[in-house]
Structure 1
Amino acid sequence: MNIEQIETFLMVTEAKNLSIAAKNLFISQSAVSHRIRSLEEALGCELLIRSRGEKFVSLTLKGEEFVEIATRWKTLSNETKLWTLQESKMNLKLASIDSLNTCVFSSLYKDIINSNNAISLNVSSHWSKTVYDLIESNEIDIGFTLNSLKYPNAIATPLFKSRGVVISSTYSKYPKEVHPHDLKTSDEILFSYIPEYEIWHNFWWEHDQSEYSSVDTVSLLFTMFDLKEKWAIVPIWIARKFEKIHPVKISELSTEPPEYACYHVFNRNPKPSKVKTIKQFSEALENYMKTEEFLDSIK
């Protein structure tokens, strides 16, 4: 049983006439008869009632029942043909810390989702260690973090570095350049992902460690700067994102904190089915990092 026999049967049921069916299919009437007989032999039952000397044919009870099955068969065959012609959509799983997802790479994700129909992108936010764990187990394909951790198969390559700045309300008293001694920890909203910053922070505010408040996501940090004297030290790309959403004062530090380095994390042995997709994403990432939007956000 094949699709030619199915299509011929459906044409005969529609035309109710072998010669008309042959004409519509651009084949001979004997070819139509041969296909119908072959189909009946494959099914082990008669589908048509043929009356000698009459132009029209009618369906047996089995033939009537088979019309619905034949229609589904033809539909499935057409869908299969379309599927074989289409390029398979490649799934890419990506994980990053919240601030990089929100403030640095959201436009990249948007462009890929909007313009690259060949990639189905799945993005999630996690702590850095979780990102490395997921990469190590090959549960995700790409990761972005601010920490370089040692794992057997999770490889981290640096993408860019950015300075830290002080952000505060536009109504705050802080000047364009501020020294750590001019910042009270009782007014601080601590926000940091890197251990180097914690060491630097402890050096300047060693005796005031219990006075500050803290938040762990950018969305929470965004809500805090209606408060007049509150301040936080953040990577410049968070400050630039703030400027677009909410008025904020950005002050440079006269004594610079450690730089925030962003790392691109991947498994040294990716799944074979993901190699092509990872390459496509890496090319899109490389192009995105040359855009003015990206460069302006990290400077």
Structure 2
Amino acid sequence: MNLEQVETFLVITQTKNLSIAAKNLFISQSAVSHRIRNLEEKLGCKLLIRARGEKLVSLTLKGEEFIEIATRWKNLWNETKLWTLQESKMNLKVASIDSLNTCVFSSLYKDLINSNNAISLNVSSHWSKTIYDLIESHDIDIGLTLNSLKYPNAIAKPLFKSRGVVISSKSSKYPEIVHPNDLKTSNEILFSYIPEYEIWHNFWWEYDQNEYSSVDTVSLLFTMFDLEEKWAVVPIWIARVFEKIHPVKISELSVSPPEYSCYQVSNRNLIPSKLKAIKKFSVALEAYMKTDIFLSSIK
């Protein structure tokens, strides 16, 4: 059974006339009869009733039943043909720490999902170590993190650096430039930090380590700054997001904490079927990092 035979049968069911069917199909009447005979032989049953020498036909019971099957078969064939002409969607799995997903790369993800670039994007949030574990096991394709960790098959490519600043309530009394000695750890909301920050933090507040509170997601941090004297040291890109949705004061530190470095992490042994999608993402990421939206968020 082929498409020509099925289409010929369906045209005959509409016209009930072999001559008109032949005309509509731009073939001879004998060709129409030949296609139908071959179709009936393939199916092993009679579909049409035609008196000798007559052009008008009627359907057998099997012919009536076959109309629905033939219609579905033709539709499925057309869908298959369309599918073969379309570029296959490439699945790409990206994982990042919560703060980068929320404050830095959300616009990039939105553009990728909204554009017709043949990528099916899946984004998740994890701790840095988990991201490296997932890269190592090929469970994700790209990681975005603030840590360069040593893993046998993980490659960390530096993307950008940004400074740390102090955020506090708009009504707080902290000046525009503040010294660490002027910050009480009893008022601190410690946010997730890079290892280098822990060393810097311990240097200034070594004897007050049990006094601060802590949160581990940006959404939790957002809820804390109705409290007048509370403060936190965060990357500037978190502070910029706070400015837009929650009035905060941003103070520079007179003794700068370590910079926050962002890395794109991938497996050194890339899966061949993922190469094209990873390349598309990397090109989009590079272009995004030149936009005003991105640049204004990290300065």
| 1:40 corresponds to 2:40 | yes
Q: Which amino acid aligns with 1:179?
A: H
Instruction: Provide, for residues 78-122 of structure 1, a one-character-per-residue CA deviation record: whole Å limited to 9, x for no partner.
Output: 111111121111111100000000011011111111123411111
Amino acid in the other structure paired with 1:27:
I
Matching residue of 1:105: 105
Distance apart, 1:193 and its partner CA: 2.7
Is 1:128–2:115 an aligned residue pair? no
Q: Residues of 2 paired with 1:153 and 1:117: CA distance?
A: 28
Q: How much does 1:227 deviate?
A: 0.6
Q: Provide the C-alpha distance between the structure 2 equivalents of 1:30 and 1:229, rounded to a whole number of angstroms.
A: 93
Matching residue of 2:281:
281
Confirm whether residue 147 of structure 1 aligns to residue 147 of structure 2: yes
Pair 1:252 & 2:252 matched: yes
- Give the TM-score normalised by the residue count of structure 2: 0.98
- What's 1:55 paired with? 55
Provide Cα deviations, 1:43-90, integer angstroms capped at 9, x if missing partner: 111111111243311111221221111111000011111111211111
Which whole-Å CA distance do the structure 2 matches of 1:116 and 1:53 have between them?
Answer: 57
The alpha-carbon deviation at position 126 of structure 1 amounts to 0.4
Separation in 2, partners of 1:117, 1:23: 43
The one-letter amino acid paired with 1:228 is E
Partners of 1:204 and 1:193 in 2: CA distance: 15
Structure 1 residues 137-172: Cα deviation after superposition (integer angstroms, max 9, x where no partner) = 111111100011111111111111111000000100
The separation in 1 between residues aligned to 2:277 and 2:126, in whole angstroms, is: 22
Query: For residue 191 of structure 2, what is the aligned residue in structure 1?
Result: 191
Q: CA deviation at 1:211?
A: 0.7
1:213 maps to which residue? 213
Query: How many angstroms does 1:270 deviate by?
Result: 1.7
Q: Distance in 1 between matches of 2:128 and 2:117?
A: 29
User: What secondary structure, in the 3-state scheme, does the structure 1 residue paired with 2:265 have?
Assistant: strand
Whether 1:272 and 2:282 are equivalent positions in the alignment is no
Say whether residues 1:262 and 2:262 are aligned partners. Answer: yes
Paired position in structure 1 for 2:164: 164
Distance 2:23 2:117 in 1: 41
**Please, which moves more after superposition, 269-278 or 166-175?**
269-278
CA distance in 2, matches of 1:50, 1:153: 73
Unaligned runs of 5+ in 2: none
One-letter amino acid of the structure 2 residue matched with residue 141 of structure 1: D
Alpha-carbon distance in structure 2 between the residues aligned to 1:106 and 1:211: 34
Q: Which residue identity is paired with 1:287?
A: A
* Partners of 1:93 and 1:14 in 2: CA distance: 50
Is 1:67 aligned to 2:51, yes or no? Answer: no
Deviations 1:183-232 (A, max 9, x none): 00000000033111111111111111111000000011011111100000
Alignment identity in percent? Answer: 84
Q: Gaps (5+ residues) in structure 1?
A: none
Partner of 2:175: 175
Q: 2:45 and 2:291 mapped to 1: Cα distance?
A: 68
| Of 145-154 and 95-104, the range deviating more from structure 2 | 145-154
Q: Secondary structure at the match of 2:143?
A: strand
**Residues 190-199 or 122-131, more deviating:** 190-199
Q: Which residue number corresponds to residue 20 of structure 2?
A: 20
Structure 2 Cα separation of the partners of residues 244 and 118 of structure 1: 32
